[in-house]
C-alpha cells in the first residue's frame, strides 16, 4: 500500500512527465511499480473514481487527475 508521501511522489511525477502520466492513467499499479511504489488495486480504483468525478465537474483534466492521486 502506497503511503501518503509516495502518493505525492506519484503526483509530482505525473505533473513533470507526460509519458508517465499517460501510463499512470492506463495502468496506475504498473506505473507506480515502475517507481518502486506498491499501489493496491483499491488505491487505483479510488484514484480512477475520483478522477472521473473531477472530470465530470469540469475541472481541468491534468489538475483534476493529480488531485485525485493526492486525495487517495
- Per-residue pLDDT reduced to its tens digit, 10-19: 888 988 898 9
Is the entire prediction scored with pTM above 0.85? no
Which set of grid coordinates corresponds to residue 19? 509519458
Over 80: is that where the pLDDT of 52 sits? no
Tell me how many domains the chain contains.
1
3-class DSSP string for 4-67: HHHHHHHHHHHHHCHHHHHHHHHCHHHHHHCCCCCCCHHHHHHHHHHHHHHHHHCCCHHHHHHH
Residue 33 pLDDT: 97
Give the pLDDT confidence of 7-43 residue by residue, as tens digits.
989 888 988 898 998 898 889 999 999 999 999 989 9
Range of the domain at 51: 4-70
In the predicted structure, residue 59 carries a pLDDT above the cut 60:
no
User: All 3 cell numbers of residue 54?
Assistant: 473531477
Amino acid at each position: 500500500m502506497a503511503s501518503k508521501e509516495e502518493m505525492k511522489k506519484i503526483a509530482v511525477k505525473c505533473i513533470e512527465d507526460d509519458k508517465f502520466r499517460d501510463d499512470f492513467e492506463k495502468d496506475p499499479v504498473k506505473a507506480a511499480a515502475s517507481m518502486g511504489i506498491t499501489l493496491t488495486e483499491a488505491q487505483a480504483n479510488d484514484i480512477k473514481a475520483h478522477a472521473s468525478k473531477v472530470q465530470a465537474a469540469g475541472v481541468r483534466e491534468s489538475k483534476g487527475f493529480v488531485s485525485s492521486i493526492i486525495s487517495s
